[in-house]
């Protein structure tokens, strides 16, 4: 009985790759130093898998930046502006594409399906000349082989590669990316032949786009591509790996009719429909790689339940054709639980990070082969039982309250235009009111204060004094700049989710539970393990302190339930919406306490609402329904005169605009500086929008300082599609990552632009 891992995290258990990359980029270490760290990481991962008994061990899932960018390099599809002159692509060109260089900006980056991992989007036009320009897949295969480990080389499949690309500048509207398939397959053939020559007996193509709702012409491209590769692939066992959702029936048919393919990988954690398809029509004689161990979460597998699924599958595909696998690459989970020395013992027993998941996969495979490790299985069963019955997981009052929310609606009684009138009477704001999104620059000094307080090195009194001092500075600056609705600057927060998680019950935190977000950037999501409640107010102290420093309205600043949910590792023992409703109730209490404390404007950030949108269209309406409902629950109880803002970190919501309107916030601020047109086109198309709206007027991700004229220009463009009495003027997002030297002139220009236009209106 065999075991397989789809892919493995690259960063290392203590983010070794991150530090090596950053030191190389800062010119503090050499290319050889970086290569050494990378090779050591690969070696230890391969040895770890081999040692655990995994049969099909992946290679080429390591990357210095991103596996899609690696594929771009393999195909020599370097956009001309990076000045590549042929030959093997080296760090220079590779990192220029990833991060830009002094003269050329980076290639675009976007989210990898519905994960928090970002890939570098290939830019392809009719003139790209493809050539075999990075031998990384073969080099890594050989590298493992030299260690005595025969691996399964992994490539991003040719069809997914094209479907994830974007047309190059100038041909956006006219170019069919799939038309390039005939040009990239020759390079794939070279790679395959070289892998074969090096001794590979298996090859894995990741084709995750197969789980999307693809039309028949795209599915046809799959059949055509793999038919074209058939003769080159002959002699190899070919695995096509899909993940992140159930596979649609049509795609399943296409996939399972491919001739040269011997094995299929499915995500059996997300959804149950793939399992049904397998049960009803799996082709004879082919391997099934059954992804029963969750690659996207941190919970220990329920081994008994997986084993019973596997037994059932064994009856369908045959004993020698069933391979135990992970649901997707382990890239999306934390690396190794061993390093969590501070985590509560009981909670720790419920978890499995990548290193532990390997052991789980192998234990399942051995159990199927009749060598069940009884001790391991019973320890697992005990942990599952303790998780089910632990009093720290269950809070009956919370469960009751959350269940009671279902089925009923929660809305503010008065409609938005009447509410805006009532709010205006109280707030008395000028037309085109100015505001910011929440955070102000976080200086080294500020971070030090927070760190020392956390480590009990400074007293609570000193901490409060220091933070208040910071708030006072931020308030004063905003008054000087003449901003209309102020913020306190969020100096007490390290992270917009962690800050709330630390004060809510039901959350746990790791020390090293990092997950790659992009390049060397990692995030450390909190773990929601139990029913969520709010023991006491979380932000009222700071917000009231800030309000007491100014006569202008001070925004209370909260993170919304959907964003807290989407940026955490979420419990898998109840539906996501249940957890979301619980968080919504906690935030609702906070909103109402802020209101009682005299805060008249409250912003509830839903930066990540869109991120949770399911990949399959058939599941989207349900998600949007409970997500938007959760948001409304947080603020349905406030008075008409209390102004509720929300903020979103993307503007690509043409398809979900009606859900956004249904959130029924009084004001929404949106990140949009890189895509004015996209956002405004929604409103140009005649969508009725009556609430306040503040599309960001400048890009906070760049150190560049926009001029007042430029900002005024953009506001004018917005005025062409939006009513002047609903438009707000604000930056794109929070200012936390910027420096004061950038923020002061930028905000001053922003206010100047608003004032200029007020005279004209
Ligand atoms: N209020 C948060 C801030 O200003 C919002 C951050 C975000 O949208 N990502 O930092
Ligand atoms: Zn934002």
* pLDDT one-digit tens code per residue, 63-80: 999 999 999 999 999 999
With a cut of 70, say whether residue 269 has pLDDT above it: yes
d(CA 647, CA 663): 12
Whether 701 sits among the annotated catalytic residues: the reply is: yes
Find, among 112, 129, 125, the residue nearest to 63 by Cα.
112
Tell me whether residue 385 is exposed, middle or buried, using C-beta atoms within 10 angstroms of its C-beta: 0 to 12, 13 to 18, 19 or more: exposed
pLDDT of residue 673: 65
The tokens for 416 are: 């938005």
DSSP state of 701: T
Q: What is the mean pLDDT of residues 329-357?
A: 97
Distance 689 CA to ligand 2 centre (A): 21
Residue 649 assigned ligand-binding role:
yes
DSSP 47-83: HHHHHHT-SB-EES---SS-HHHHHHHHTT---GGG-
Q: Which atom of ligand 1 is least distant from the CA of 671?
A: 8
Least confident of 222-231, 361-370, 402-411, 639-648: 402-411
Task: Check: CB of residue 309 under 8 Å from CB of residue 368.
Answer: no
pLDDT of residue 169: 87
Q: What is the mean pLDDT of residues 615-629?
A: 95
Find, among 701, 587, 690, the residue nearest to 633 by Cα.
587
* pLDDT one-digit tens code per residue, 137-181: 999 999 999 999 999 999 999 999 999 999 998 888 889 999 999
Confidence band of 542 (pLDDT split at 50, 70, 90): very high
pLDDT of residue 761: 85
pLDDT of residue 597: 98
Beta-bridged to residue 109, according to DSSP, are 120
CA dihedral 561, 566, 571, 577 (to 10 degrees): 50
Q: What is the mean pLDDT of residues 505-510?
A: 97
pLDDT of residue 676: 65
Distance 669 CA to ligand 2 centre (A): 9
With a cut of 70, say whether residue 674 has pLDDT above it: no
Confidence band of 683 (pLDDT split at 50, 70, 90): confident
Closest-CA residue, ligand 1 atom 10, reads 734
Confidence band of 389 (pLDDT split at 50, 70, 90): very high
* Summary mean pLDDT of the chain: 95
* pLDDT one-digit tens code per residue, 398-443: 999 999 988 889 999 999 999 999 999 999 999 999 999 999 999 9
Find, among 84, 166, 64, 100, the residue nearest to 133 by Cα.
84
Domains in the chain with CATH codes: 56-261 (3.20.20.210)
Task: Check: CB of residue 567 under 8 Å from CB of residue 523.
Answer: yes
Which residues have CB under 8 Å from 252's CB, separation 6+? 274, 277, 281
pLDDT of residue 653: 76
Task: Check: CB of residue 61 under 8 Å from CB of residue 144.
Answer: no
Question: pTM for the full model?
Answer: 0.95
Q: What is the mean pLDDT of residues 253-269?
A: 96
Q: Which residues line ligand 1 (CB under 6 A)?
A: 437-439, 490, 496, 557, 605, 607, 647, 649, 733-734, 736
Q: What is the mean pLDDT of residues 22-48?
A: 98
Structure ipTM: 0.99
Distance 734 CA to ligand 1 centre (A): 4
With a cut of 80, say whether residue 677 has pLDDT above it: no
The tokens for 691 are: 């609430």
Which residues have CB under 8 Å from 333's CB, separation 6+? 9, 294, 295, 296, 297, 298, 353, 354, 357, 515
With a cut of 70, say whether residue 651 has pLDDT above it: no
Closest-CA residue, ligand 1 atom 9, reads 607
Confidence band of 675 (pLDDT split at 50, 70, 90): low
With a cut of 80, say whether residue 578 has pLDDT above it: yes
């Amino acid at each position: 009985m065999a075991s397989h891992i789809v892919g493995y995290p690259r960063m290392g258990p203590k983010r070794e790759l991150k530090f090596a990359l950053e030191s190389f980029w800062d010119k503090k270490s050499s290319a050889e130093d970086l290569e050494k760290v990378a090779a050591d990481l690969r070696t230890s991962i391969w040895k770890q898998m081999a040692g655990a008994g995994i049969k099909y061990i992946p290679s080429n899932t390591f990357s210095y930046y991103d596996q899609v960018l690696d594929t771009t390099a393999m195909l020599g599809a370097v956009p001309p502006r990076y000045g590549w002159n042929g030959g093997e692509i080296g760090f220079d060109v590779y990192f220029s594409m990833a991060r830009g260089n002094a003269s050329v900006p980076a290639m675009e980056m976007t989210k990898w399906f519905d994960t928090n991992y970002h890939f570098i989007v290939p830019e392809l036009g009719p003139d790209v000349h493809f050539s075999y320009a990075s031998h990384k897949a073969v080099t890594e295969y050989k590298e493992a082989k030299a260690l005595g480990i025969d691996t399964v080389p992994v490539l991003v499949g040719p069809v997914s590669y094209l479907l994830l690309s974007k047309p190059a500048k100038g041909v956006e509207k006219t170019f069919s990316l799939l038309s390039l398939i005939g040009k990239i397959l020759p390079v794939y053939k070279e790679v395959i032949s070289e892998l074969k020559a090096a001794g590979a007996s298996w090859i894995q193509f990741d084709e995750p786009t197969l789980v999307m709702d693809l039309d028949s012409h795209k599915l046809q491209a799959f059949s055509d591509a793999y038919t074209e590769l058939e003769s080159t692939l002959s002699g190899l066992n070919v695995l096509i790996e899909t993940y992140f959702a159930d596979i649609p029936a049509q795609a399943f048919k296409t996939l399972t009719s491919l001739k040269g393919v011997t094995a299929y990988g499915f995500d059996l954690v997300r959804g149950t429909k793939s399992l049904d398809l397998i049960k009803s029509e799996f082709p004879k004689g082919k391997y099934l790689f059954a992804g029963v161990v969750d690659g996207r979460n941190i919970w220990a597998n329920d081994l008994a339940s997986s084993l019973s699924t596997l037994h059932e599958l064994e009856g369908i595909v045959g004993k020698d054709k069933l391979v135990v696998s992970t649901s997707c690459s382990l890239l999306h989970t934390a690396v190794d639980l061993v390093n969590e020395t501070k985590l509560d013992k009981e909670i720790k027993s419920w978890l499995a990070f990548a290193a532990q998941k390997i052991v789980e996969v192998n234990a399942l495979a051995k159990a199927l082969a009749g060598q069940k490790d009884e001790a391991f299985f019973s320890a697992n069963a005990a942990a599952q039982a303790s998780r089910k019955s632990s009093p720290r997981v269950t809070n009956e009052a919370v469960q009751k309250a959350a269940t009671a929310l279902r089925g009923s609606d929660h809305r503010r009684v008065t409609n938005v235009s009447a509410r805006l009138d009532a709010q205006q009477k109280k707030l008395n704001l000028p037309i085109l009111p100015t505001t910011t999104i929440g955070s102000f620059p976080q200086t080294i000094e500020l971070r030090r204060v927070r760190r020392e307080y956390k480590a009990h090195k400074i007293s609570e009194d000193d901490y409060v004094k220091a933070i208040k001092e910071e708030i006072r500075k931020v308030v004063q600056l905003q008054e000087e700049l003449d901003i209309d609705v102020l913020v306190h600057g969020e100096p007490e927060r390290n992270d917009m989710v962690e800050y709330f998680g630390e004060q809510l019950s039901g959350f746990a935190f790791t020390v090293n539970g990092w997950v790659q977000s992009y390049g060397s950037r990692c995030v450390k999501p909190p773990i929601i393990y139990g029913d969520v409640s709010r023991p006491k107010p979380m932000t009222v102290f700071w917000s009231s302190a800030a309000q007491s420093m100014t006569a202008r309205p001070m925004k209370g600043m909260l993170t919304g339930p959907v964003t807290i949910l989407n940026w955490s590792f979420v419990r898998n023992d109840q539906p996501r919406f249940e957890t979301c409703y619980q968080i919504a109730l906690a935030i609702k209490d906070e909103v109402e306490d802020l209101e009682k404390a005299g805060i008249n404007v409250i912003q509830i950030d839903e930066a990540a609402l869109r991120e949770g949108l399911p990949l399959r269209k058939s599941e989207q309406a349900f998600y949007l329904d409970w997500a938007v409902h959760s948001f409304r629950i947080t603020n349905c109880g406030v008075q008409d005169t209390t102004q509720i803002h929300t903020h979103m970190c993307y503007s690509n919501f043409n398809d979900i605009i009606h859900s956004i309107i249904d959130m029924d916030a009084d004001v929404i601020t949106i990140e949009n500086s890189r895509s004015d047109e996209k956002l405004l086109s929604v409103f140009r198309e005649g969508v009725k929008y009556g609430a306040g709206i503040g599309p960001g007027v400048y890009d906070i991700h760049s150190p560049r300082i926009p001029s007042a004229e430029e900002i005024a220009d953009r506001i004018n463009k917005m005025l062409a599609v939006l009513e002047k009495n609903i438009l707000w003027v604000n930056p794109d997002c929070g200012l936390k990552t910027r420096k004061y030297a950038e923020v002061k002139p930028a905000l001053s220009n922003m206010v100047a632009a608003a004032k200029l236009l007020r005279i004209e209106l």
